[in-house]
Amino acid sequence: MLTVKILGSGCANCKKLEAVAREAASRANVPAEFIKVTDMKDIMAYDLLSTPGLVVNEKLVSSGRIPTIAEVQKWLAV
């Protein structure tokens, strides 16, 4: 099972990113555990320039934007 982390304070963009990531996993039929990371110290450990951030299996794949469902599906397929 993949581990998908949403990095951010819980803002509207963070919620939208989580929705996109969940939809991508669902469409790709990929089992994934979703974790929200809101503690700034934990977020900065990922060398993130801006939130929201998306981490798949401890690899930062996106930051500062909302990727498309198709982009997230590619990252989940690795």
- So which residues are the catalytic ones? 11, 14
- In angstroms, the CA 16 to CA 22 distance is 10
CA distances from 3 to 29, 31 (A): 14, 9
8 A C-beta contact, residue 61 and residue 55? yes
Using CB atoms within 10 Å of the CB of residue 12, give its burial: 0 to 12 exposed, 13 to 18 middle, 19+ buried.
exposed
